[in-house]
């Protein structure tokens, strides 16, 4: 993983880092059957930035993800929050995507801290 601006693939979401805003965003689909290595590599890549307080916001905007990714996404959120306790998690979901909103609320409950929920227009 050479850069934090990673294009999406058939199996993985894109990753974009906005240094000025200190925002890390994952967007798209996460469908790999064995996504552990991809998420572990991402965590290793962002660890130095978390240590330097260079990530204040984790923005998650998934179209959908499989159950194999569900655990990895939880681990990513928990890891970032442990490393950066003032971290804000923004859970973006498309307008009318009630399931993804509900999924975000489930993650908020599992993580035991408040998320910010942002509804996007389709394609937004």
Residue 75 interacting with other proteins (CB under 8 A) = yes
Residue 21 interacting with other proteins (CB under 8 A) = no
Determine the size of the site formed for other proteins (CB under 8 A): 23
List phi, psi (to 5°) of 18: -105, 105
Select from 1, 44, 51, 109 the one that contacts other proteins (CB under 8 A): 109
Residue 98 interacting with other proteins (CB under 8 A) = yes
Residue 68 interacting with other proteins (CB under 8 A) = yes
Q: Return the closest-CA partner of residue 17 out of 50, 39, 40.
A: 50
Q: Return the closest-CA partner of residue 31 out of 80, 84, 71, 69.
A: 69
- Judged by CB under 8 A, which stretch of 43-51, 53-61, 67-75, 113-121 contacts other proteins? 67-75
Residue 105 interacting with other proteins (CB under 8 A) = no
Residue 10 interacting with other proteins (CB under 8 A) = yes
Burial of residue 101, with CB atoms counted within 10 A of its CB: 0-12 exposed, 13-18 middle, 19 or more buried? middle
Strand, helix or coil at 56?
A: coil
Q: Return the closest-CA partner of residue 13 out of 23, 25, 26, 32.
A: 26
| Residues in contact with other proteins by the rule CB under 8 A | 10, 31, 33, 63-64, 66-68, 70-71, 74-75, 94-100, 106, 109-110, 122
């Amino acid at each position: 993983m050479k850069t934090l601006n990673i294009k999406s693939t058939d199996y993985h979401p894109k990753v974009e880092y906005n240094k000025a805003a200190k925002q890390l965003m994952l967007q798209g689909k996460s469908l790999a059957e064995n996504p552990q290595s991809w998420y572990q590599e991402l965590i290793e890549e962002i660890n130095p930035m978390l240590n330097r307080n260079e990530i204040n916001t984790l923005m998650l905007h998934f179209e959908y993800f499989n159950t194999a990714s569900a655990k990895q996404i939880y681990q990513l959120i928990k890891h970032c929050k442990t490393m950066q306790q003032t971290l804000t998690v923004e859970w973006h979901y498309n307008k009318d995507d009630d399931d993804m909103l509900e999924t975000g609320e489930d993650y908020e409950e599992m993580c035991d801290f408040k998320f910010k929920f942002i509804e996007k227009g389709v394609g937004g």
